[in-house]
Structure 1
Amino acid sequence: MGWAKATKLAGRTALQGLVAVKFDKGHGALVELNCETDFVAKNDKFHKMMEDATLAAFKFAHTHLQAKGPITKMELDSEQLGNLQAEGGKKLSETLALFIGTVGENAVLRRAECWKANQNEVKITAYTHPAPATPGDYSAGKYGALLAYKQPNDLQDFGRQLCQHIVGCAPVKIGDKEKDKPAKNSDDETCLIFQEYLLDPSYTVEEVMEQNKLEIIDYVRFSCGEAVESNMPGVEKQPLDTVQTLQ
């Protein structure tokens, strides 16, 4: 019943939904799940599907990423994400088909980013907007980001605040003060280090980073329903046949 319904609805546009994060200090997952309407995106069953998908991607980050540089990053497309195992032993694609059969509209496991820190001094944090009332290691919203950084005194709250800035201000790249120049109009700034810091615009992000002795290793930001580049720079794309169902 679920597969038949999913096949029938597969061609319908699904750009609503959520992005979600799950992380610990050394691992992170950022996942997007789409549906047709915002009404379904608020459904408890949709939130359960979102949480299952994010947990599966988080487990993948723990068990399947090999050390390479300060962090290992893996981008999973829709088919690869669906091949991961959900709680209870089913593949995510099977769980999704049952969900579609229940709600009666199309839904898509769109993409995921799985990260692993390979050095003790590298930390991973994450943020979604709207933010939950009580911050935790899992959250979902319309926007989300993962951030990998180094900071000697390990003030994780500041890392999360910087991740909040990334979600809110949508920088295109970290930026290099030796090679890049600030935009003439601060509202047009796309380099993270030159942007006015979201929580205190009297400082730039670079100035706040220097004050807190923080070094950004990398970040990634998802906006639900956004157009996605086919080849994201700096992210390894794993062949489908190597993304096996988790045991």
Structure 2
Amino acid sequence: MAEITASMVKELREKTGAGMMDCKSALNESGGDMEAAVDWLRTKGLAKAAKKAGRVAAEGLIGVVASGNAGAVVEVNSETDFVARNEQFQKMVSDIASVALANDGDFDKLVAAEYPGASKSVKDYVTEMVGTIGENMNVRRAGYISVSEGAVAAYVHNQVVPGLGKIGVLVGLESAGDKTKLAELGRQIAMHIAATNPLATRKEELDPAVVERERNVLIAEAKESGRPDNIIEKMVEGRIRKFFEEVVLLSQAFVVNPDDTVEKAVKAAEADIGAPINVVGFVRFALGEGIEKEESDFAAEVAAARG
């Protein structure tokens, strides 16, 4: 069995909000598997259902650019937030977002493409900037969305300069209706996505493994109640519907008007926009999601430096 360390217990507490001893028990029961430990706590009613995001630790910026029927978003990481406030770094991220748009968000094409105004690739330009600024940095990922007719709307949360911030969202709306009104609706939906972090546009687009895992946890949780199987089945189906309402964009309560779902809000907007609207999809990048920054022990570093 894997050794259960204090840092593992701490991480599980941060993920679930459960008590220290409960977290330790969960890790022991799951052999140190963090995700299995989360599920164990949930089946015992000790942790809430979670759309768990990884701890956000990396610095840098999200760059977003949208033009007409297409948009791109990139994440460029740096070691410190200080560099993210550097004008050279900000210009570089903006330029890289534009290159991503020109290359349909294809990451391999992006890093190999020529950097604007330089006779070198994006990858080589970033390497050069590492030497100039004096801090490690890298292009982590790129996303892209387009529509055949309609609008791609963008939103940047915690914006430091136009198009750059900590969370970037693109949403594609297909429609033959009024483009100005469509773009405004798209911006509202993009703001909603930034706030709620849905997992998919429609429930049919959810990863089946995610749904199956959720169902298994809910079944185990319901069985703890000791109720008959037919009652448990109804309980689980009701909770799965609630899960969809929490993680599926079109099923979520619209932050602009919580009395409506996003789907109902889009349908209601069709009369004003003058044509049917199809939410094609979205891209949402949050800075550093899924990355763990190595934590240093400052006191130990000082002691080591002193010999």
| Aligned equivalent of 1:197, options 235, 249, 254 | 254
Check whether the contact 1:60–1:114 (CA below 8 A) recurs between aligned residues: no
Query: Percent sequence identity over matched residues?
Result: 31
Q: Does 1:224 align with 2:287?
A: yes
Which position in structure 2 is the counterpart of 1:91?
Answer: 121
Which position in structure 2 is the counterpart of 1:128?
Answer: 156
Check whether the contact 2:198–2:249 (CA below 8 A) recurs between aligned residues: yes
Check whether the contact 1:182–1:191 (CA below 8 A) recurs between aligned residues: no
- Count residues in correspondence: 192
Which position in structure 2 is the counterpart of 1:11?
Answer: none
Q: 1:200 to 1:224 in 2, by over 3 A?
A: same
| Aligned equivalent of 2:178, options 153, 159, 163 | 153
TM-score (norm 2): 0.57
Structure showing greater Rg: 2
| Aligned equivalent of 2:103, options 39, 43, 60 | 60
Please list every run of 5 or more consecutive structure 2 residues that lacks an aligned counterpart in the other structure. Answer: 1-56, 212-239, 271-276, 292-307
Shift of 1:202: 2.5
Shift of 1:116: 3.7
Q: Which has the higher helix share?
A: 2
Matches within 5 A, 1:1-247: 15-61=58-104, 74-76=105-107, 80-88=109-117, 89-117=119-147, 119=148, 121-131=149-159, 139-151=163-175, 152-154=177-179, 155=181, 156-176=183-203, 182-183=241-242, 189-213=246-270, 214-227=277-290
Distance 2:116 2:156 in 1: 23
Q: 1:108 to 1:126 in 2, by over 3 A?
A: same
Distance 1:131 1:98 in 2: 26
Q: Deviations over 1:158-182 (max 9, x none)?
A: 11111111111100011249x9964
Check whether the contact 1:81–1:111 (CA below 8 A) recurs between aligned residues: no
Q: Deviations over 1:137-175 (max 9, x none)?
A: x60111111111123233111111111111111000112
Partner SS, residue 95 of structure 1: helix
Distance 2:250 2:174 in 1: 15
Partner SS, residue 113 of structure 1: strand
Distance 2:163 2:112 in 1: 23
For 2:132, the aligned partner's letter is: T
Distance 1:109 1:220 in 2: 17
Shift of 1:75: 4.1
Partner SS, residue 201 of structure 1: strand
For 1:100, the aligned partner's letter is: V
For 1:107, the aligned partner's letter is: M
